[in-house]
Structure 1
Amino acid sequence: MVTEYFVGIRAECSGDYGTVKYAGAVEGYQGFWLGIDWDEPNRGKHNGTVKGKHYFHTRYPTSGSFVRREKLNFGQSLIEAITSRYGYRDNEIEAKRNEEELHKIQQYMNAPFLELVGFEKVANKQRDFQYLEIVNVRMQKVCSAGPPRELNRMFPNIREIDLSKNLLCSWTEVFNICSQLKSLYCVNISENLLSIPENCCDFVFPNITVLICGHMDLSWDDVIKISSVFPNVQELRVPFNRITDITVPPNHNFKKLLYLDLEGNCIEHWSTIENLAVIQSLEHLNIEDVKLQRIRFRDDSVPTHGFTSLSQINISNNLIAEWQSIGELNKLNKLEHLRFTRNPILQTENPATREQIVVARIKNLKTLNGCRILDEERRGAEYDYLKKYGLEWLKSQNTADRKKFLREHNRFLELTNKYGALEESELVIQPNILDTALISISIKHGERTIKRKLPPALSIQKLILLIQKTFKLQDRPCLTYVSGPKQEIKIRLDDEMKELGFYSIQAGDVIIVNSENSIIY
């Protein structure tokens, strides 16, 4: 246990965490006091000033208070925490409780950053710590490594460790822990407020490849300093910090970085994000909830010169309010996986249409929000995109708006070359009566073809029943929509809950009826 207090150490009181900012007398009050700047903005009573006298600075106007030393907990060593948590157990109940707790932690952090250790097996082995590889000491009030070299002697095989929300006060203690655990590759130190030592560059741990630092009040400059200590990091998570500006120096230490998580930082500008383009190894970028308003690359080249390996990006929960930003992502030549939810522009279209717009605008996209994009879905999306914006394209011809249109619809000419120019009759959109108007289509089964006028609101399920009755079919048929003007466009009508209007079926189109085992390509 910590036996002396000094400014800068961390302390806990009734579940609240804070930093000691003052130790001494307080005018008008007897005895010895510790001035605490609490992590929670409203946990205290003042800003370090009492009765007009200033004692210490706080991060928030009401996060400061004075507390008696005996009411504070200054923590325990990592060795004590591990032996207490993974030592003798009377039964399996505690092991099960630990496993449930770790599940909750993973959900809270919104990332499965650690695998579950087999708590039952650990319990059975009791105090044989040589078997420990994955350790979770979250919220165990850890403040230090413990006696020199003891950590490595007692726990030589620890590979992953969760040190989040403890009482560590300096990166020096983290470095001490890393230096003793030779097999360690994954460290989570989230929710610790750590000072960075001036001799930070004197430390280096090439074995660490996963580093998780959420909710630590880090700036990007802090991240750059720490990166020199962990030059081989492949997965770096720094969500919910105070990162606003990003610059990557020429001699950066991100040569092996594959995954970067910046969620919850107030970055706002794509130009700031684009500074990461020089990290050639970067494959996965999470910029969810960074207050991003639009996406514009500095150059118009397709593909863009940077982000040469970026294949996955998450831009959900931002402030994007125009489709051109999504078209800009087509400049990322290797982009195959996109997560894009909870943005204002998505409210302008129904779910099916907005998904089609995204797919049509990004050529190489293979999954959207975790769902695979099938080839026929892409063909349908691209063709419907041409029909949706075709009239606007025709009106822009021989006008100053043509250049603007092509800038806003990045793949329109490419799609026109792919599917051919559409006739104006295919593009005419009737006013509001469209939903109630009947569509004249042909339904073909074998050598027999019939014509029917059907409402756009008719579900595929009801259409199947109608066709079964009309052609007196015993088996449930498969339907394929073929565009009248573009015979090469064939789309399976396999979602029975969708309506005809969802597939943009128009007068003159054909529906081919086949058996369950027959598919048209």
Structure 2
Amino acid sequence: MSAQKILPSMDIANNPTAPMRFLDFDEAEYSGTASVPFRIELFTTPAHPETSSAGTSSTVRHQQCGPLGAEAALKRLRSASLTLIPVFRALRGGKDAETAPLWPHPGGTLGMLLPRLSELELSGCLLSRWIDVAEVCIQLPWLKSLAVSNNRLRLPLSPSSPRPAESDKNPHPMRLRYDLDTNPAEAERICASAFPNICQLILVRLVCLDWTDALRVIQWTPSIRSLSLPYNHLGPLPEIWSDSVIKLFRQLVELDLTQTDLVDVTQLFSILGPSTSLESLILNQNAIAKLPVFPSVESVDNKSSDTSHPVDSVDRTTWFTRLDTLGLRHCGFADWKCMNQLMRLTELRHLLFLECPVLENMNTQTGRQEIIARLPNLACLNRVEVCAEERRGAELDYLKRYGAEWIASGGAVIESDDPSKPPLVNVNESFARNHPVFVTLCAKYGPPEAGETKFFTRSIKEGLISLTLKLQSSGDKSSISETGIVRRIPGRMTVSHLKMLARRLFKLTPRVSFDLIAQGERHRVINAELPMDTETREVGFYDLEDGDVVYLRMR
């Protein structure tokens, strides 16, 4: 679209090819007077004056280009993004009675130009009043999604609030947050009727927004399903919530409260918990240190006829029965108690859990395995799918990791009198409270034995194994060097590196080929040997102990 300045004395019809000076948008707004006309050209598809073979005239062709084509395109438009465009300039209103209906206001003709518009983004448009947004949306009856992020929007003063006294020289500080120039009753009426079909409301980084104002805006959107309020300093939650607001929150399907200064979510969860609609809850970058205890629902499956040997210490909850996605990234969780509550959410499939204090003392892979094992229903962790093989490994490692603690707390396996029934796993009450998934995993894989609870240490100093290296001639097991070389070998050293070390210690030339054969006291009892034939494996894989001998058997 181009705007061209035309002199008043110029006859456009008689001089269609006369030279004209092009103006940019700022010049077009502030240049000239109302008596100087502007010609606006809209180009869509090229128009050909010739008549087609089918007899289509140029008039019909012009219905698909120029002003007529633009009007047809606007009527088909379903989504419009005006990000960083100064829309506020168009909200000043026209003074001419003929063009005034084109400007947004109650009863305007914007809906005739955009009858199918369902998504509108007005982010960063320098909008300053909610009444302006309402006067735009009230003309768009099919509008479903509205984004007004990064604007300093001021709410109209509440009809029940008195207007503060002020003067031109001493404006009241409330002007920074509220629109004091608009009739409160009239503004409330317009705003309350402007967003009847809005299902998605996106309010990111609104300077003049706290929880009280946010709840007021939400009451204007009776059809709300998705609400995004990230990066707003909303402050503490109000203590009193009206029934209408609670009803609107419980009909939400998606809620994003990223970095909104949340600390205690007890009240928020008491409002959202009973919801049967909420599927996605994002609470990233908040100082949330714990989750409230979810209310339980009695289940026969979670009880045992013998209370001293519970079959499962996990119970279901009546809260968040449809919650599928939860974001808890960069929160303040310092222990795993939060996972004990999340385990009770049977529909939870996607979790974002990163950069929390509980993960600081472990590597990334160990932390991931811990979360996977504690949440049996999880399908995707930190946007990475959890496959069946990864889950099996994580759950087996979990049993080994906490098996020693289970045995030390008095845990034991009690055989059932009925051979057809599996053995019962006795769990201490304190252990069951900290590890509610342990019994379930024991039923799945069997309880860990004492020998399975030992973990290889990752400390280099403590992970050294004292091995004796000896030479052995090819085909003659009796011809073994009397003296061997004792070295402390890291368990994480590969067989390939061990061969290089042995070649250097015994000063063997590169032409000499040999195999590594390990034998310890437990191997000699059964007259067995342990070939170390995979060069990429670690020495710790072969479960060698201090004092074991590794023979260099020549080929």
> Does TM-score exceed 0.5, indicating one fold?
yes
Aligned residues of 1:438 and 1:456 also touching (Cα < 8 A)? no
Aligned to 1:370: 383
Change (3 A) 1:196 1:237: farther
**What's the offset of the Cα at 1:434?**
6.0
TM-score scaled by length of structure 2: 0.55
**What's the offset of the Cα at 1:228?**
2.3
Aligned to 2:449: 423
For structure 2, list consecutive stretches of 5 or more residues without a partner in the other structure: 1-28, 31-37, 46-64, 94-102, 159-184, 298-314, 413-426, 468-488, 498-535, 545-555
Aligned to 2:431: 405
| 1:288 corresponds to 2:284 | yes
| 1:349 corresponds to 2:362 | yes
* Whole-angstrom CA distance in 2 between matches of 1:233 and 1:499: 57
Change (3 A) 1:139 1:459: farther
Aligned residues of 2:116 and 2:142 also touching (Cα < 8 A)? yes
* Whole-angstrom CA distance in 2 between matches of 1:357 and 1:257: 31
Q: How does 1:295-444 map to 2 (within 5 A)?
A: 295-299=291-295, 302-397=315-410, 402-429=428-455, 432=459, 435-437=463-465
Alpha-carbon displacement from aligned partner over 1:491-518 (angstroms, at most 9, x marks no partner): xxxxxxx9869xx96849xxxxxxxxxx
Aligned residues of 2:294 and 2:319 also touching (Cα < 8 A)? no
Q: How does 1:126-141 map to 2 (within 5 A)?
A: 128-141=73-86
Letter in 2 for 1:378: R
Q: How does 1:52-63 map to 2 (within 5 A)?
A: none
**What's the offset of the Cα at 1:299?**
3.9
| 1:176 corresponds to 2:135 | yes
Alpha-carbon displacement from aligned partner over 1:262-306 (angstroms, at most 9, x marks no partner): 001011123144132132200000100111122232546632221
Letter in 2 for 1:371: V
Aligned residues of 1:274 and 1:297 also touching (Cα < 8 A)? no
Aligned to 1:223: 214
Aligned to 2:547: none
* Whole-angstrom CA distance in 1 between matches of 2:404 and 2:211: 47
Q: How does 1:24-63 map to 2 (within 5 A)?
A: none
* Whole-angstrom CA distance in 2 between matches of 1:458 and 1:374: 29
Aligned residues of 1:232 and 1:255 also touching (Cα < 8 A)? no
* Whole-angstrom CA distance in 1 between matches of 2:537 and 2:223: 52
* Whole-angstrom CA distance in 2 between matches of 1:123 and 1:506: 81
* Whole-angstrom CA distance in 2 between matches of 1:409 and 1:461: 41
Letter in 2 for 1:331: R
For structure 1, list consecutive stretches of 5 or more residues without a partner in the other structure: 1-74, 77-83, 92-120, 440-453, 463-497, 509-521
Aligned to 2:14: none
* Whole-angstrom CA distance in 2 between matches of 1:262 and 1:460: 52
* Whole-angstrom CA distance in 1 between matches of 2:398 and 2:43: 63
Aligned residues of 2:121 and 2:147 also touching (Cα < 8 A)? yes
* Whole-angstrom CA distance in 2 between matches of 1:378 and 1:315: 21
Change (3 A) 1:248 1:178: same
* Whole-angstrom CA distance in 1 between matches of 2:496 and 2:434: 37
| 1:154 corresponds to 2:149 | no
Aligned to 1:206: 196
Alpha-carbon displacement from aligned partner over 1:382-424 (angstroms, at most 9, x marks no partner): 110010111112111289x943332222211221222211111
The structure whose Rg is larger is: 2
SS at match of 1:313: strand
SS at match of 2:249: coil
Aligned to 2:144: 185
SS at match of 2:366: helix
Identity of aligned pairs, percent? Answer: 27
* Whole-angstrom CA distance in 2 between matches of 1:207 and 1:160: 11
Aligned residues of 2:399 and 2:441 also touching (Cα < 8 A)? yes
| 1:142 corresponds to 2:87 | yes
* Whole-angstrom CA distance in 1 between matches of 2:286 and 2:366: 26
| 1:457 corresponds to 2:492 | yes
Change (3 A) 1:131 1:343: same
Aligned to 2:13: none
* Whole-angstrom CA distance in 2 between matches of 1:293 and 1:221: 24
Aligned residues of 1:312 and 1:337 also touching (Cα < 8 A)? yes
SS at match of 1:359: helix
| 1:260 corresponds to 2:255 | yes
Alpha-carbon displacement from aligned partner over 1:3-35 (angstroms, at most 9, x marks no partner): xxxxxxxxxxxxxxxxxxxxxxxxxxxxxxxxx
Aligned residues of 1:214 and 1:241 also touching (Cα < 8 A)? yes
* Whole-angstrom CA distance in 1 between matches of 2:132 and 2:237: 28
Change (3 A) 1:126 1:328: same
TM-score scaled by length of structure 1: 0.58
Aligned residues of 2:250 and 2:274 also touching (Cα < 8 A)? no
* Whole-angstrom CA distance in 2 between matches of 1:218 and 1:438: 66
SS at match of 1:268: coil
Aligned to 1:279: 275
